[in-house]
Amino acid sequence: MNPHFNNIDQAREKINAMLNVNELEQRYKTTIEQAYNLSQTESGLSDALYYEASLMLQRILKLKASFDYNFEAA
């Protein structure tokens, strides 16, 4: 296979992963907010949401660690 196409595929994977990180960060923020709002009335559901958010945070951190996010502005 042409090495040029290999570089394009790697760049495409990197962009897809970055978009996935941004989406996960938004879901994480929403889940934390929901858990906080439910903390006084539904403690069991709040705990489950906090746990789900912690799993999301672990995944976000792993994705960020696996890619170089040091982009320089043009």
Q: Is residue 69 part of a domain?
A: no
Q: Is residue 71 part of a domain?
A: no
Q: Is residue 1 part of a domain?
A: no
**Cα–Cα dist 52/45, whole Å:** 11
The pTM score is: 0.67
**Cα–Cα dist 67/52, whole Å:** 23
Q: How does pLDDT run across 27-50, given as a tens digit for each residue? A: 999 999 999 999 999 999 999 999
Q: Is residue 54 part of a domain?
A: yes
Domain interval for residue 45? 24-64
- Identify the pLDDT of residue 65: 81
Q: Is residue 13 part of a domain?
A: no
Domain count, the chain: 1
